[in-house]
Amino acid sequence: MINLKTMTNNLHYNTRNEAIEFARRTKVNLQFIEQAKRAGEPVHEVTQLALSLLGLIVFPKEKLLLDQIDKILLADLQAKGWPQWQITLDGGKRRTDTLGQLIWHLRNAISHGALMFTSDDESLENVALRVEDKPSKTADANWRAEISGIHLREFCLSFTGLIDQIIG
C-alpha cells in the first residue's frame, strides 16, 4: 500500500505559492506516481513527468529569478553526471551553453505547449521528449532539443536539488 504521509514526512509545510515549495510538492507527487506504477497501479508516469515540468522547471524559473544558473555551464554539469539534452537546433542569438539559457528555452517550450513525446509507451525507458522554442507563434522554431524520459526525470531532480541548494 502506498503511503503518501510517509513520503511527505520530511517536507517543510510552507505555502505552495512559494516556487521552491511548489517544486518540492511536485517532486513528492511524481515519486508517488512512480511508486504506484511499481506497485502495478494503472498510472502514467510519463504523463506525470510532463505535468511535473510546470512545478519543477517553469515555476522556479519564473518566480525565483535564478541569476546564479546563468553562469553554470552545461559542460560542467555534464562532467558532474547530469544528463545531457541533445540540442539539434540552436539558431538563437546566442548558443545554449549555460543552464540558464537551457532553462529559458525549456520554460518557453513548456509554457507554449511546444513539446512532443516520441511514443505513447507507458515506460520512461521507451519515451523521449522533444521540445521547441520559437520567437513568436507564427515563426519557425529556432531552438530544438530532445531528452530520453529517464534522463528527463534525472535532469528535473538534479535541477530541483540545485535550486534547493542555492535557495532552500
Question: In this predicted model, what pLDDT tens digit does every residue of 29-65 receive, in sequence order?
Answer: 889 999 999 999 999 988 888 888 887 777 766 655 5
d(CA 8, CA 5): 5
Regions of the chain where pLDDT drops below 70: 1-19, 60-66, 92, 168
Q: How far is residue 92's CA from residue 110's CA, in Å, rounded to a whole number? A: 17
Contact 153, 124 (CB under 8 A): yes
Alpha-carbon dihedral angle through residues 148, 154, 159, 160, given to the nearest 10 degrees: 130
β-pair partners for 133: 143
Range of the domain at 74: 4-166
Beta strand 86-90 pairing with 115-117: unpaired
Instruction: Look up residue 148 and give its three cell numbers.
Output: 530520453
For residues 94 and 66, give the distance between their C-alpha atoms in angstroms, rounded to a whole number: 19
**What pTM was estimated for this model as a whole?**
0.81
pLDDT value at residue 129:
95
CB 84 within 8 A of CB 127: no
pLDDT computed for residue 22 by the predictor? 75
C-alpha cell at 123: 515506460
Domain count, the chain: 1
pLDDT of 17 reads: 62
